[in-house]
Amino acid sequence: MTVVLRLDPEDPDVDDIEQAATVIQQGGLVAFPTETVYGLGADAMNEAAVQKIFEAKGRPADNPVIVHISNIDMLERVATGVSRTAKMLAERFWPGPLTLVLKRNTNVAPSISAGLSTIAVRMPRGRIALDLITRAGTPVAAPSANISGRPSPTTASHVATDLEGRIDMILDGGATNIGIESTVLDVTVDPPLILRPGWVTKEMLTEAIGKIGAAASEEELKHSPGTRHRHYSPRARVVLIEHASPMQIARVIRQHLESGEVGFIGHSKIDSSEEGLILFPLRQDAAEYAKSLYSALRELDAREVSTILVEGIAEIGEGAAVMDRLRRAASEVISE
Ligand code: TXA
Ligand code: MG
């Protein structure tokens, strides 16, 4: 059975946190909100506990997970040889949506790193996450709290849909602020390499430490096994529409309506009178897209549409992270 506790994200109840921390200490699984998405947490120093994460999610064993810490002193329990650059980044962006890939401390449960000599670490923002880790007194391994391959959860009910009955506890702190996963930056190479774009943008990283690389080749992406797998996908077929006028979009919608119900997520004004069409209008703004995208995908899935059409946004600043997720979710890209 999965226990669900509702917590105030600004001021979580101490007894509730204590209860969740005890589950972690005893080798159980607790889903909790971070500023990005909900994570599925286990004691990072307990191999059996970490293996439960992989089982609950159906996650491939070759996809390593992120370890979460709540203060900078915890860093050396999970990583070694932390460079000056890494320290600067931690100081500047933690707590926050930046994950650093560092050399792994061999005390950490081995399956976290999926056989790599590195470990991904971040200090999340938000009282529930930080209080939980501090109370548990141990670094907490936590991938996104979804069934592997499905969109990351941005609410506790998304977590329950995927993992009810498979995990011990869910801490419900309401909808997450950002809505897409953290930036993953490999700082074991020079220049550091972005393995997954996120809310901490390339521009922000460049301003902080100078030159940054972005993984372009398959070879480089081997450093981030997760980016190889198809990701963030609902069950329905997702089609990404880039650079199209409202008229062109309306035509694409009509085409797809011939084979079943259609959901449209986008910023162009679309006539809503077509039968079988469900609209999710968003402002043309990366923050709004990030916040709403996964829940829109999940809701359209629940309504069993056959096609989800998503309109892209400009790939600048935070828009790059949004477009990355859209491309991974899509099985087809239309560019008019
Ligand atoms: O915002 C987030 O990052 C959320 C919250 C819960 O913190 N977590 C999250 O975890 O998105 P997950 O497991 O769904 O994604 C972790 C990503 C994967 O792409 C994985 O391959 C990569 O980080 N990763 C983990 N450890 C790595 C390592 N040692 N080297 C390279 N990439 C790594
Ligand atoms: Mg994930």
pLDDT in tens, 231-282: 667 789 999 999 899 999 999 999 999 999 999 999 999 988 899 999 999 9
- By most ligand atoms within 8 Å of CB, the mutation choice from 105, 144, 150 for ligand 1 is 144
> Hey, what amino acid is at 286?
A
Binding site membership of 195 for ligand 1 (Cβ less than 6 Å): yes
The whole-chain average pLDDT of the chain stands at 94
Residue ID of nearest Cα to ligand 1 atom 31? 224
* Strand partners for 213: 193
Proportion of the chain in helix, strand, coil states, percent, rounded to 5: 35, 20, 45
- By DSSP bridging, strand 213-214 and strand 237-242 are unpaired
**pLDDT at 160 > cutoff 70:** yes
Q: Which atom of ligand 1 has the smallest separation from the CA of 227?
A: 19
Binding site membership of 39 for ligand 1 (Cβ less than 6 Å): yes
pLDDT on residue 214: 72
pLDDT on residue 234: 76
Measured CA to CA, the distance from residue 94 to residue 103 in angstroms comes to 18
Residues 6+ apart with CB under 8 A from 319: 286, 289, 313
Give the pLDDT mean for 10-32. Answer: 98
CA 307 to centroid of ligand 2, rounded, Å: 23
Tokens of 254: 């009509």
pLDDT on residue 305: 96
Could you say which DSSP state residue 105 is in? Answer: P
Q: For 302-311, how does the pLDDT look when each residue is reduced to its tens digit (9 = 90+)? A: 999 999 999 9
Residue ID of nearest Cα to ligand 1 atom 29? 119
Length reported for the chain: 336
Q: Which ligand is nearest to the CA of 103?
A: 1
Q: For 213-240, how does the pLDDT look when each residue is reduced to its tens digit (9 = 90+)? A: 876 655 555 555 555 555 667 789 999 9
pLDDT on residue 180: 97
Q: For 165-202, how does the pLDDT look when each residue is reduced to its tens digit (9 = 90+)? A: 999 999 999 999 999 999 999 999 999 999 999 999 99
Q: Which ligand is nearest to the CA of 116?
A: 1
pLDDT on residue 222: 53
CB 85, CB 192: distance < 8 Å = yes
Q: For 117-157, how does the pLDDT look when each residue is reduced to its tens digit (9 = 90+)? A: 999 999 999 999 999 999 999 999 999 999 999 999 999 99
CB 214, CB 98: distance < 8 Å = no
The torsion angles phi and psi of 206, rounded to 5 degrees, stand at -60, -40
**pLDDT at 65 > cutoff 90:** yes
Question: What is 128-165 written as a DSSP string?
Answer: HHHHHHHHHTS-EE--BSS-TTSPPPSSHHHHHHHHTT
pLDDT on residue 267: 97
pLDDT on residue 223: 53
Residues 6+ apart with CB under 8 A from 91: none
pLDDT on residue 207: 97
